[in-house]
Amino acid sequence: MQKKERDVRVFRPALLPDNRRLVGYPLTICGFLAILGYFFNNLALAVIPLLLVAVFPGIPIAIHSVFFLGVKITLYVDRLIVVDWAGDPFVFYPRRQEMALSRVAYVYHLQKEAEANMTETVPWAPFCNTYIKTKKYRAANANPRRAGAQARSDNGLVLSDKEGEDKVYIMHFHDLSKKDWQELARQIRKRNKDISFLMTDREKKGLLG
């Protein structure tokens, strides 16, 4: 029992970016300017930096707080459970997904499945069965203004069985800290060494660290 509990790993999206300077520098600068405004009795200089802090990094942190609270990835010895209430605009999947690790045959990024389903030829397994909202994805693909949202979805990680009938979509995979998503990928491979990674060697190296 103790061994099973020790082998259970829980992962959640990070609240702060891996590069802490993206948060630390704005807070330091804005805080310094606000203090100067207070001592020199300059209301604008005191208030504007505080407003800037509320916008950046305040808004990104607020968004990631939603992911942190709404997404939970639990890795057991023999299975993976993903609870995701944050959702994704281009993929429709159950809020709770579960898959035995022994059934995982392929690991790949969502973009590979999306591209396979956008061609005129019939996609081969594991791409033939998909939860991607193909029409919505095609529309976004033709609209440069949606490129950012689409790129975010493309980076989602998919675990699939050999036939593509049993899948888990980890759409907020890259919202984890880099250390955590690499550890999650390594643990999945460690618990099923027969998995094939459908990606370039460079992508695989970046995934596993």
Helix H, strand E, coil C: the string for the chain is: CHHHHHHCEEECCCCCCCCCHHHHHHHHHHHHHHHHHHHCCCHHHHHHHHHHHHHCCHHHHHHHHHHHHHEEEEECCCEEEEEECCCECCECCCCEEEEEHHHCCEEEEHHHHHHHHCCCCCCCCCCCCCCECHHHHHHHHCCHHHHHHHHHHHCCEEEECCCCCCEEEECCHHHCCHHHHHHHHHHHHHHCCCCEECCCHHHHHHHHC
Q: What is the mean pLDDT of the chain?
A: 86
User: Residue 65: which pLDDT band, with cuts at 50, 70 and 90?
Assistant: confident
pLDDT of residue 66: 85
User: Residue 27: which pLDDT band, with cuts at 50, 70 and 90?
Assistant: low
For residues 17 and 13, which has the higher predicted lDDT (pLDDT)? 13
Res. 114: pLDDT tops 60: yes
